[in-house]
Chains A and B, each alone.
Chain A
């Protein structure tokens, strides 16, 4: 799991499968997977900081919001094109990440986690206070679209493959980084920070760097999501659930290995969709209206229960579990 080649092959296989299956997907699934790709970007971005260094952030949705609101509002009011506003949004997220990380990384363990949780709460307040301008909890429509095709189907494909490109680029960069010298240091910080200092490494510098990269990646996902939606959705850019789901995705897939977060991201978003569809299948005719939302709510609960059971049996995450099984099989062959 630690080798660069293994991680690149898992990443490569995954993105190739994602590229190939798209034309065979039902429309609903195509939409689900379009957004699952953004979510996978969030999860991988979370993983490079929190998964690798062990500094668990609860509030990474904050960087989604900073980049998303920056690009959306600049596009809406100043009328700048998205190729200018998306990079600006990402830069704002990095800047916010840097400013925040310097004091926050002095804190350890639960203190750090709690302080990160305050960020998105404060940001949500600010957006509501400035509702005249930001649209508050209702959000804003009319943001420039990522894909300007008049045809719905063409647009759907364009969105899917654009976000596929973002996910693939982010995945390649993060897998490379996580297995580089920097990645090795970040992992070592998680295991024993004092021993890393004793090796002559300024751990604060490395953690701040990881924070900036993490904010950049998550911000990139957030900025693209606004233009894929053609709207600023308060509920999605400020969702604490999404913030926590990034952690769930990374833990389920396997923390600190990037490809674990990628798989976890698809598992969480894909799993939610599967359960939702199953719930709809069982609907008695004539009661759709009421029962639907009721069942959907249960579906989420059932889904999270399944995730908890999965975590119970694969504490180190799915990918390391599979890798372990694979190694054991090979070991047996060699031994016998």
Chain B
């Protein structure tokens, strides 16, 4: 059974059809690339999956259960986490406190265990530890997110997403705005998550950045799926080449 199954999803903004009858699925353990030119509807698809936008029609299934009209927090607790295209963090909380929020359960009156170990684990998996010579366990960074470089902010976003224990991770343009060195860093981080068995949907403008990371690619253009397959298949597809030539970059 597919982990995520999207069926005939449609969303329009006024006269603009941002997502048009889109269907695709994601198998457990798979890394799927969702690519398309500017304005193709990629972020809108993520917003629909996360319950931030309501679809005009169509259905979304996660682990066989329909989640189409669920509120965001419930979708997150079911096991989907998303990293936003534009960093969304708590500017006046430290890195540690930012990550901690994801480790706190959605229960006011609870005897749930201390969120500290989980927080430290998320920091460790995303390389947000303070380097300290005489201690070998992770201490999360105590600075404010504003002090971090772009690459560090992306790590923070990943740590906050991973902290909710997702079975499916949606990454919206994780390489945007990064220096070439930082792109390598974050690529390695995503590859290491993949090796841990994390299922991921990765959005990017073009294929070059995601080729080495993904198992399969879905290509969107003006809200429609125009191709799907392995990176090699998709790269050879004439319709895809045309779309990208028209859109101005591959």
A residues lining the B interface (CB < 8 Å): 2, 181-182, 184-185, 187-188, 191-192, 194-203, 205-206, 209
Bound complex: CA A188 to CA B102 (Å):
11
Give the complex CA separation of A274 and B238 in angstroms: 82
Which residue of B is nearest A182, CB measured? B108
CB of B81 within 8 A of chain A? yes
A residues near B81, Cβ cutoff 8 Å:
198
B 154-194 binary contact with A (CB < 8 Å = 1; else 0): 00000011011000000000000000000000000000000
Across the interface, which residues of B come within 8 angstroms of A181, CB to CB? 104, 115
- Interface of B with A (CB < 8 Å)? 50, 52, 71-74, 76-77, 81-82, 84, 88-93, 97, 100-102, 104, 106, 108, 115, 160-161, 163-164
Q: Is the CB of A199 within 8 A of B82?
A: no
A205 contacts B82, CB within 8 Å? Answer: no
Contacts A192-B90, A199-B164 supplied; 13 other A-B pairs, CB < 8 Å? A182-B108, A184-B100, A184-B101, A185-B104, A188-B90, A188-B93, A191-B92, A192-B89, A195-B90, A199-B76, A201-B104, A202-B106, A203-B73
Please determine whether B108 and A200 come into contact, CB atoms closer than 8 angstroms: no
> What are 15 A-B contacts defined by CB distance under 8 Å?
A184-B100, A187-B90, A188-B93, A191-B92, A192-B91, A194-B88, A198-B72, A198-B82, A198-B88, A199-B102, A201-B101, A201-B104, A202-B73, A202-B74, A203-B73
Q: Give the top 8 A-B pairs by smallest Cβ distance, nearest first.
A: A200-B76, A191-B90, A195-B88, A199-B102, A197-B72, A200-B77, A202-B73, A200-B164
Q: Which residues of the partner chain A approach B161 to less than 8 Å between Cβ atoms?
A: 198
Closest-CB distance, B125 to chain A (whole angstroms): 16
A10 to B84, CA, bound (A): 39
Docked-complex contact A191 and B160, CB < 8 angstroms: no
Most buried by A among B92, B97, B115, B164: B92
Contact between A205 and B108 (Cβ–Cβ < 8 Å)? yes
- Chain B residues near A209 (CB, 8 Å)? 108
Give the docked Cα–Cα distance between A181 and B100 (Å): 9
Checking B71, B106, B160 against A195 with a beta-carbon cut-off of 8 angstroms, the contacting residue is B160
Distance, CA A179 to CA B91, complexed state (A): 18
Cβ–Cβ < 8 Å partners of A2 in chain B: 97
**Contact (Cβ within 8 A) A191 B93:** yes
Q: B92, A200: Cβ atoms under 8 Å?
A: no
A181–B164 Cα distance when bound, in Å, is 15
- Contact yes or no, B101 A185, CB < 8 A: yes
Task: Please give me the residue from chain B that is nearest to A194 by CB atom.
Answer: B88
Contacts of A192 in B (CB 8 A): 88-91
Residues in chain A near residue B52, CB distance under 8 A: 194
The CA of A195 and the CA of B156, in the complex, are separated in Å by: 12
Contacts of A202 in B (CB 8 A): 71, 73-74, 106
Determine the distance from Cα of A255 to Cα of B84 in the docked complex, in whole angstroms.
29
Which residues from chain B contact A205 at a C-beta distance below 8 Å? 106, 108
Residues in chain A near residue B76, CB distance under 8 A: 197-200
Expressed in whole angstroms, the Cα–Cα distance for A187 and B76 within the complex equals 20
**Cα separation A200 to B160 with both chains bound (whole Å):** 11
What CA separation (Å) do A300 and B161 show in the bound complex? 51
Contact B106–A200 (Cβ < 8 Å): yes
When distances are taken between beta carbons in the complex, the residues of chain A under 8 Å from B92 are 191
Of A195, A197, A198, most buried by chain B (CB within 10 Å of CB) is A198
Task: State in angstroms the CA–CA spacing of A195 and B76 once bound together.
Answer: 11
Q: How far is the CA of A188 from the CA of B100 in the complex (A)?
A: 11
- Tell me whether B115 and A199 are in contact (CB under 8 A): no
Q: CA A206 – CA B107 in complex, angstroms? A: 9
User: Which residues does chain A contribute within 8 Å of B163, judged by CB atoms?
Assistant: 199
Q: With a CB–CB cut-off of 8 A, which chain B residues contact A184?
A: 97, 100-101, 104
B106: which A residues are within 8 A, CB to CB? 200-202, 205
Bound complex: CA of A181 vs CA of B101, how far in Å? Answer: 8
The verdict on A200 contacting B89 (CB below 8 Å), with A181-B104, A185-B101 known, is no
Chain A residue contacts of B84, Cβ below 8 A: 198
